Amino acid sequence: MNISDRCLDIYFRKVLEAAAILQPPSAYKILPYTGHLFRNFRDYSCGYEPGAFFRAHRNLEEVNILPSCHIKDVLKEYLRFETRFALENIWVRRQNRQHVIHSFNNADINSLEKLIRKQNYVIVSAHFSGIIDMVELLRVIGYKATFIASNAMNQPWNVATPMQRSVAALFRSWRLRQPLIFSDEKNILDRSSKVLLADESMIMAADVPGYKGARVSMFGKSLWVPAGSAIMAWKCKVPILVAIPWASACDKPYKIFLRTIPASRDYDAVMTKIFEHIETVVRLNPAGWNGWLYFHRMLA
């Protein structure tokens, strides 16, 4: 680790572990003042390739949804959301049920419960800071949903970034009570279909780079995205529930953007609708979306 990573690792293990004792919103009070520290354009620590933060700045410039003078401020706020993600990982690891519940707007939890009481879904989310909290929220309110995630535990601990360590520590404890399928496992579609056919739900993020499953539009640009959620929904005749957590600021509770989409054999149309919804949420607060770091890798 470089010196920035070492400082961030100490911050995560000492400062955030102490702050995690508090419930939200009290636990979030440190985020506006310290959540952006120990990461910059040169020494960015998350697990992406060198220069990822420079690339995020360029991606924001190219989609032209913000005045250029505001982009650095948005990226600084993004780092605070990233720190919030690490803080909330601690709550999930410690099984702090009330902390997780209080990180969301209560009315949105009620809206989510009304939908999921009716049937199982292919639940599609996106890489906002609250995605792990969203999965845990479903679990603690009694709704079983198997989560498809990238396997942070594959990274050797001694070379892992502080953020990778945060996720690896979470998964080691979480998988004992939360159903997980890692994206590097074989037969993901078959395993996921068995879950859905057993009247349980799957949850996954749609905004993953590196897959040429369906072609969609986002911010006026053509993207390649994975089509697994659309394929599973049609194969198992289960509707899609788009459920994306987002917050107006790093110290505010999550709201949950909720929309349903019927299953269809037209995978491109289904994924296009999903990404229309993701774009809507990103526009609500661009600082909350992790995708700026890899948006260029999704371009068709």
Cβ-in-10-Å burial (0-12, 13-18, 19+) of 144 comes to: middle
CA–CA–CA angle 130, 199, 235 (5° rounding): 90
pLDDT at 269 (0 to 100): 97
Least Cα distance to 20 among 123, 77, 117, 98 occurs for 98
Question: What whole-number distance in Å separates Cα of residue 228 and Cα of residue 213?
Answer: 8
| Tens-place pLDDT, residues 189-222 | 999 999 999 999 999 999 999 999 999 999 999 9
pLDDT at 82 (0 to 100): 98
pLDDT at 49 (0 to 100): 81
Residue 155 in this model has a pLDDT that exceeds 90: no
Non-local CB neighbours of 84 within 8 Å, separated by 6+ positions: 28, 31, 35, 129, 250
Dihedral, CA of residue 45, residue 14, residue 173 and residue 203, to nearest 10: -50
Residue 48 in this model has a pLDDT that exceeds 90: no
The set of long-range contacts for 17-20, using a CB threshold of 8 Å and a minimum separation of 24, is: 17/90, 19/87, 20/87, 20/90, 20/91, 20/94, 20/96, 20/99
pLDDT band at 154 (very low <50, low <70, confident <90, very high): confident
pLDDT band at 55 (very low <50, low <70, confident <90, very high): very high
Residue 34 in this model has a pLDDT that exceeds 90: yes
pLDDT at 153 (0 to 100): 87
Q: How far is CA 209 from CA 59, 191, 244, 286, in A?
A: 14, 22, 18, 18
pLDDT band at 63 (very low <50, low <70, confident <90, very high): very high
Question: What whole-number distance in Å separates Cα of residue 47 and Cα of residue 164?
Answer: 7
Question: What whole-number distance in Å separates Cα of residue 232 and Cα of residue 189?
Answer: 7
pLDDT band at 152 (very low <50, low <70, confident <90, very high): confident
Question: What whole-number distance in Å separates Cα of residue 77 and Cα of residue 111?
Answer: 28
pLDDT at 2 (0 to 100): 86
Enumerate the β-bridge partners of residue 242.
Answer: 124, 259
Which helix or strand (DSSP H or E) is residue 216 part of?
strand 214-218
Rg of the chain, C-alpha, whole Å: 18
| Tens-place pLDDT, residues 113-142 | 999 998 999 999 999 999 999 999 999 999
| Tens-place pLDDT, residues 239-279 | 999 999 999 999 999 999 999 999 999 999 999 999 999 99
Helix ranges (H only) for 52-145 are 52-63, 71-94, 97-102, 106-116, 131-140
